[in-house]
Structure 1
Amino acid sequence: MQGPMMDNIFKKYLEGKSVRNIDFKVFEPSFVPNKMPHRESEIGILVDNFGKILMGGMPKNVLIFGKSGTGKTAVMKYIGRELEDASKNRVNIRSIFVNCQIKDNSYSIFETMGNSIEGEKIPFTGWSFDRLYAAVKKNIDMYNGNIILVLDEIDRFVKKNGDDILYQVLLLDSELEKSRITLVGITNDLKFMDYLDSRVKSRLNEEKIVFPPYTSEQIYDILIDRVNIAGINDFVSEGALRLISSLASQENGDARKAIEMLKASIQLAISSGENKVEEAHVFSAKNRMEYDAIMETIKTLPVQTKALLLGILLLRESGTIQFTTGEVFEAYRNVANGANLPVLTPRRISDMLSDLDSLGLISANVTSLGRYGRTKMIEINVSFTDAKKVILEDENFRGLKATPTMKQLRFNIDH
């Protein structure tokens, strides 16, 4: 009889200094710490604006600009939490956060507003907008307080649907008798105001705040803060933290990505049974994150672009390293026919090749063929085995998984 845990397959997770109860929620994007390092100035502006509510005044609407990972959403969640805490037994304040990438139509945003406070229950769909508007107006006015509506990634919504949602919210606020709505828009696009109609601009009366990218030293401080909150400051080396800070500062000062890289590095160290997170774990985590990002990009490509990429992958699988646009088009046509997709024109395929090139999935370099003219030479930049597996998970290509079909496609491409 073997001793307890002597040969258990989970032994490496149960021994050594690296095994500890780490609260990984500290490293999640949804986590909001009790302090926000290096955002004191921006917080001060927001506190002065929203503090007016506590004095019976009315704050301005706010537009927050900044690249991904600069703390925009986290700071607004922090402000909302602190403001609601300060307003207890004084005035009703409710912060409502809406991610416009998920809630991507006016109905869903108004439904979220109406169901975030007590009152008439609003269904997820099915009502006319007039009925929805009236119910939300009634619920908010019965609340008899202040609503701070935060529309995260508002630029995505406006580019897709226009700015009617902003006009509708501003109009709703003007019609309320007992409550008020303050609108906060969060955007990565510094040109966001250019997309708005004059009727919206005139009503907005906004305070604009720009969140600059974090520097390497600032990201290091943020990482130190998270490590201390998690109680693992002795488990992560300074070299690892410095490396993560440097890498993240080179990518637009993205603190969110830095925290994600730190989390992945910690998990790698633990799974390897190591006693400390070192630079090697950071490099491994970075490579894994980049790989996952590439596979996710492929997964979300339009179906015709996937068909084109699959044709290129099959060319590569047949042993060829570089291919002409003519070869790529023939490979794409075979895949499209095999998947019962309409075949696009060579010109459209050329545009799609440029898109794949800009995503870094392929390299498309123009090469001279002498008196035969010029052509693009295509080369794949990703693991063709893994990329093909991701594409074949799409229901449009499931019929191609059968070996005879794939063999026939490769035969057509080879010949």
Structure 2
Amino acid sequence: MIVDPRPLEPAFVPGDVRHREGEVDALTSSLDPLLDGRHADPALLTGPSGTGKTCIARHVGDRLQRETDATVQYVNCWDAYTRYKTLYRLLEGIGEAYDVHRQSTPRDSLLDRLRENLDTPYVAILDEVDQLEEKGVLYDLHRTRGLSVVLIANAEEALYAPLEERVASRLKTAHHIRFDRYGVDELVAILEDRVRWGLREDAITNEQLRWVADAAAGDARVAIGTLRAAAEAADREGAARITDAMLREAAPEAKSKIRQQSLEKLTPHQRVVYDLITERDGVRPDALYEAYREAVDEPRAERTLRNYLRKMRRYNLVTAEGEGKARRYSTVE
């Protein structure tokens, strides 16, 4: 059934993208100054999960590296959520992290080393950038000659709200590229490509692909995950084709897997908050913050907690009912 598993993976970056030509052109244009050796202003990609932001950023970055002498480094801020980790990943991109040691290398020296070793244009793609706990690093990167940044976040306010004014004022000049949810026809076209590249011919019908696209509600990750889970089920059973029953079982499985992956990416403080919500189902925000303050040694500000909650709601980890002080949070089963 599966002839090539790579196109069925969420991190797969196709050589040709569907239904995001305008966004590709916009991001490419924002990076055009690099072709003349000039600095490119920041680009900000926003939109709901599963709308192609990461795919497009990496697609444009791959093409830029093929056609120019620019270096492009992708950094997922779910993992690299501190200043140190972000700078370390950027040093890795130019081969300058080999002798950096967490315990003995001064933090401030990482930025100096980065600035001293940028001989060609460097593009930093910072995905889930609102996850950064020390957002002042964005100001430092913006002021680094030869380095341009592409920022990816779910929502503009999620990035700007917690920023210091000096950082926000710099980043508000960014080229803002907004991504809307995919329509059913657009998702079907994307799935058709993945089927052609990854599955045996006639593995699934167009009508079935339309069902998958409709069930995914505009989220390409869910659609591709459903296709992958159904194809794996067909492989296990030795079936010649994917059946409707396999798809019906695969859809909730795909959503659950994505939710679990998001849960595993939470920072230590976010995980504490999530666990407290799990323990205190229906907890109010004020009670949640007090419990959080007691549970950690260096609690973040209440505004940061609100940002955590917004993030977890966008990734379908928690739900909220009510408004203001009457709001209550619960985890998604």
TM range (shorter): 0.7 to 0.9
- Work out the CA distance in 2 between the residues paired with 1:167 and 1:188: 20
- Work out the CA distance in 1 between the residues paired with 2:262 and 2:107: 35
Match of 2:123 in 1: 148
What's the C-alpha RMSD, in Å, of the aligned pairs? 3.1
Deviations, residues 53-111 of structure 1 (Å, cap 9, x unaligned): 22333322101101111000010110011111111xxxx30111111110110011111
Deviations, residues 27-62 of structure 1 (Å, cap 9, x unaligned): 111111111100000111112222232233332210
1:276 to 1:80, Cα distance in 2 relative to 1, 3 A: same
Q: Secondary structure at the match of 2:19?
A: coil
Match of 1:218 in 2: 186
Of the candidates 226, 229, 246, which is equivalent to residue 197 of structure 2? 229
Matched positions, count: 284
Which is greater in Rg? 1
Measured after TM superposition, the shift of residue 238 of structure 1 is: 1.8
Match of 2:142 in 1: 170
Q: Secondary structure at the match of 1:68?
A: coil
Measured after TM superposition, the shift of residue 131 of structure 1 is: 2.1
Q: Secondary structure at the match of 1:195?
A: coil
Of the candidates 138, 150, 156, which is equivalent to residue 190 of structure 1? 156
Deviations, residues 169-196 of structure 1 (Å, cap 9, x unaligned): 123x1xx4xxx01011100023133333
- Work out the CA distance in 2 between the residues paired with 1:304 and 1:119: 40
Does the CA contact (< 8 Å) of 1:98 and 1:152 recur in 2?
yes
Of the candidates 34, 38, 43, which is equivalent to residue 62 of structure 1? 43
Instruction: For CA contacts below 8 A with separation 6 or more, give which structure has more relative contact order.
Output: 2
Percent of paired sites with the same residue? 25
1:232 to 1:293, Cα distance in 2 relative to 1, 3 A: same
Does the CA contact (< 8 Å) of 1:84 and 1:93 recur in 2?
yes
146-155 vs 266-275, greater mean Cα deviation? 266-275
1:294 to 1:226, Cα distance in 2 relative to 1, 3 A: closer
Amino acid of the structure 1 residue aligned with 2:128: E
1:276 to 1:82, Cα distance in 2 relative to 1, 3 A: same
- Work out the CA distance in 2 between the residues paired with 1:195 and 1:133: 22
Does the CA contact (< 8 Å) of 2:215 and 2:251 recur in 1?
no
Match of 2:72 in 1: 95
Report 1:66-81 matches (<5 A). Answer: 66-81=47-62
Q: Secondary structure at the match of 2:161?
A: helix
- Work out the CA distance in 2 between the residues paired with 1:114 and 1:58: 19
Deviations, residues 172-226 of structure 1 (Å, cap 9, x unaligned): x1xx4xxx01011100023133333221233333111001110011000000011
Gap runs ≥5 in structure 2: 265-270, 282-294, 296-308, 322-330
Amino acid of the structure 2 residue aligned with 1:194: A
Amino acid of the structure 2 residue aligned with 1:216: V
Of the candidates 265, 269, 279, which is equivalent to residue 234 of structure 2? 269
Measured after TM superposition, the shift of residue 155 of structure 1 is: 1.1
**TM-score, structure 1 as length reference:** 0.62
Of the candidates 214, 219, 239, which is equivalent to residue 254 of structure 1? 219
- Work out the CA distance in 2 between the residues paired with 1:131 and 1:213: 41
Are 2:23 and 1:47 aligned? Answer: no
Q: Secondary structure at the match of 2:44?
A: strand
Amino acid of the structure 1 residue aligned with 2:238: G
**TM-score, structure 2 as length reference:** 0.76
Are 2:129 and 1:129 aligned? Answer: no
Of the candidates 181, 201, 204, which is equivalent to residue 168 of structure 2? 201
1:66 to 1:137, Cα distance in 2 relative to 1, 3 A: same
Does the CA contact (< 8 Å) of 1:111 and 1:124 recur in 2?
no
Match of 1:405 in 2: none
Does the CA contact (< 8 Å) of 1:65 and 1:187 recur in 2?
yes
Deviations, residues 298-357 of structure 1 (Å, cap 9, x unaligned): 986755555568xxxxxxxxxxxxxxxxxxxxxxxxxxxxxxx9xxxxxxxxxxxxx9xx
